[in-house]
Amino acid sequence: MTRRDVAFPSSDGTCAGWVFDPAGSDDAAARPIIVLGHGLGGVKEMRLDAFAERFAAAGYRCLAFDYRHFGASTGEPRQLLDIGRQRDDWAAAVAYARSLDSVDADRVVLWGSSFGGGLVIDAAARDSRIAAVISQCPFTDGIASARATDLRSTVKVVARAVRDVAGSLVGRPPVMVDLAGPPGSAALMTAPDCEPGYRAVAEHAPAFRNEVAARFGLAIARYLPGRRVRKLRCPIMFGICVTDTVAPAAATRRHAKTAARAEISEFPCGHFDVYLGAPFERAVTDYVDFLRRHVPPDA
């Protein structure tokens, strides 16, 4: 396997990424490609490479990328999480993946985790050529996630979000909130396992910043990508963390029932545990099995 740095245009900016080429991929045969994107404020160094390396070992090309405003990608102000812009980044990543040499443009798979797990549902609903989707610990229901958040934190985040929106209208720098923080803090994720869990995943990601422009706090409850599952005609695997405090498992199960070709793997762990150790091994094994059955690398 080899990994190379790449960049591709997305709207008014550029997304940075890595392309993983499996051993023997210099042959003439066109292979499927898996496009990987992270969740809330995540960057590609936060274990996207670990999943991509395992997929490449199974014979798949992979493209892992950073959203604009995050990591190595362009975009000002930094740490701006805008749902519409991230939808555009997914579309741009898919278009770039299809343009690569020796890639089968009709065998593009989307892999997204956490908030990215919701965005891949959205992206596949917009692109009928997507061959399959893997949605890990997915954010499928903003209302369910908002209800799971500490009320004290919600009040603090909304107050900062209003200040951020007001300031943006007159050109002020963003007002920030933490992505993960202790219970009751002004952070988007404040369950007891969130801050230590997120920092463990970010241990080898120097580009990670535990903050985001607060205006995103006003958009969370209104984003309901799970409702688009019923539009998918490709197979989709939901990797559900049973004790998830960020993206409640019950909401994901409910939306999965509306999919025409859904499969579910459940892992007895929390939202951030699935990136590391034994839960990671279990998850990536299930994902490779799903891929080989629906989008085999040598078809």
Give the pLDDT confidence score for residue 29 in this predicted structure.
79
Q: Which domains does the chain have, with CATH numbers?
A: 2-145+223-294 (3.40.50.1820)
The tens digit of pLDDT for each residue in 138-182 reads 999 999 999 999 999 999 999 999 999 999 999 999 999 999 999
Q: How confident is the model at residue 207 (pLDDT cuts 50, 70, 90)?
A: confident
Whether 227 shows a pLDDT value over 90: the answer reads yes
Q: How confident is the model at residue 98 (pLDDT cuts 50, 70, 90)?
A: very high
Q: Are 38 and 15 in contact (CB under 8 A)?
A: no
Give the pLDDT confidence score for residue 24 in this predicted structure.
74
Q: How confident is the model at residue 20 (pLDDT cuts 50, 70, 90)?
A: very high
Going from the C-alpha of 161 to that of each of 43, 138, 156, 215, the distances in angstroms are 23, 24, 9, 4
Give the pLDDT confidence score for residue 23 in this predicted structure.
87
Give the pLDDT confidence score for residue 28 in this predicted structure.
64
Structure tokens, 152: 């004290």
Q: What is the DSSP-derived secondary structure letter of residue 232?
A: -
Residue type, 152: R
Q: Are 254 and 207 in contact (CB under 8 A)?
A: no
Q: What is the DSSP-derived secondary structure letter of residue 93?
A: H
Give the pLDDT confidence score for residue 27 in this predicted structure.
62
Number of helices followed by number of strands (H, E) in the chain: 8, 11
